[in-house]
Amino acid sequence: MKRFTHYCAYFLVFILLFSACKTKKTTTTSPRPTAPSTQGPKGTSSTPEKKLPKIPVALQPLNYQMPEMPREFRGVWIATVANIDWPISGTDSYEKQKRDFLAILDYYKGLNFNAVIVQIRTPGDAF
């Protein structure tokens, strides 16, 4: 008996959903009335014409040409984690590390690099 009520409830929901769907109705289109002539006595239009507003200055295209200059980002990544790139040895003195770093910078400057990104991860001491 319980299953029968469930089936009836499902059937009623299905019927309600199906009946809510509208089918295409055939509609008859009545012909549109023709607009009266707006011609004046001399054949000119009596309705005023709208003129488009001028373009605001902010929306006009720029006529400025950028000068020709090299705009290239050529960067190098120098990693310090586990002495991948620099310093060569973790036990080197400050002066040796400085010379090595300047040598790396000079090397990449000779290859026309214009940016250096240095990854720094210190183990808690001042760098």
Closest by Cα among 75, 100, 76, 77 to 87: 100
Within-domain flag for 91: yes
Q: How many domains does the chain have?
A: 1
Within-domain flag for 110: yes
103: containing domain: 75-119
Tokens 């488009």 label which residue? 52
Q: What is the mean pLDDT of the chain?
A: 75
Give the model confidence (pLDDT) of 38-95 as tens digits.
Answer: 555 555 556 777 777 776 666 667 777 777 876 788 999 998 888 888 888 878 898 9
Within-domain flag for 112: yes
Within-domain flag for 10: no
Within-domain flag for 84: yes
Q: Which residues of 74-100 are buried (b: 16+ CB within 10 A; e: fewer)?
A: eebebebeeeebbbeeeeeeeeeeeeb
Within-domain flag for 80: yes
Within-domain flag for 60: no
Is residue 30 pLDDT above 70, yes or no?
no
Prediction pTM value: 0.42
Within-domain flag for 46: no
State the average pLDDT over residues 12-22.
69
Structure tokens at 36: 């009266």
